[in-house]
Amino acid sequence: MVKKTMEKGFKLILGSQSMARKRIIAEMGYDFTIVTADIDEKAIRKHKPEDLVVAVAEAKANEIISKLGGESQFAQDHQPTLLITADTVVVYKGVIREKPTSKEEAREFIKGYSGSHGGVVGSVIVRNLQTGVRRGGWEKAEVYFHEIPEQVIDDLIDDAITFKVAGGLMLEHPLISPFIDSVMGGVDTVMGLPKELTEKFINDVL
């Protein structure tokens, strides 16, 4: 099968090491390379989760562009290069939750979801490095949980991946997936990259 990147005639950089985001982009039919941003996400503060995820994704894009030598490096290329960056937070009872920083915080996060629900806000920014055109936005989803047993919570806290995802919440984790009641909104948004929005922005910037 011909990859969409070849069909549409562009190169794609994914500004993320997230396994879920890599998988989503691959499922969308794109070839890509990875360049990650070295930013202090905690230094970026916004009151609204929607503003925060867009600001963090924007900061990631700016840092990656700087790392690559600036957009001028791409201006004369035969093919455009698109850069995709994203960010996700969990919102629980109106409070923004990022990656847990301790076992105690991870336990508090996961126990809170048990028999309850958490919102997920995910952003995506697509920038054409040849033209400088960018599109960005966000989507929301809500995840409802059954009661999560204490032993499962203990096992999740012992898994390092819990500390690498927003709110300690990894929908596809085999320990947590049996306790998901329902998802209102896109599962891909919860996993870290809203597919439809990403596809739309890719087409918009080309």
Give me the residues paired with residue 81 across strands: 11
Active site residue 87: yes
Instruction: Give SS3 for 52.
Output: helix
Q: CA of 2: how far to CAs of 8, 9, 29, 84, 85, in Å?
A: 10, 11, 8, 21, 24
Q: Helices then strands (H, E): number in the chain?
A: 7, 7
Q: Which two tokens stand for residue 18?
A: 């997230």
Choosing from 87, 154, 158, 188, the catalytic residue is 87
Give me the residues paired with residue 182 across strands: 144
Task: Give the whole-angstrom CA distance, residue 107 versus residue 155.
Answer: 10
Tell me which residues are annotated as active site.
Answer: 87
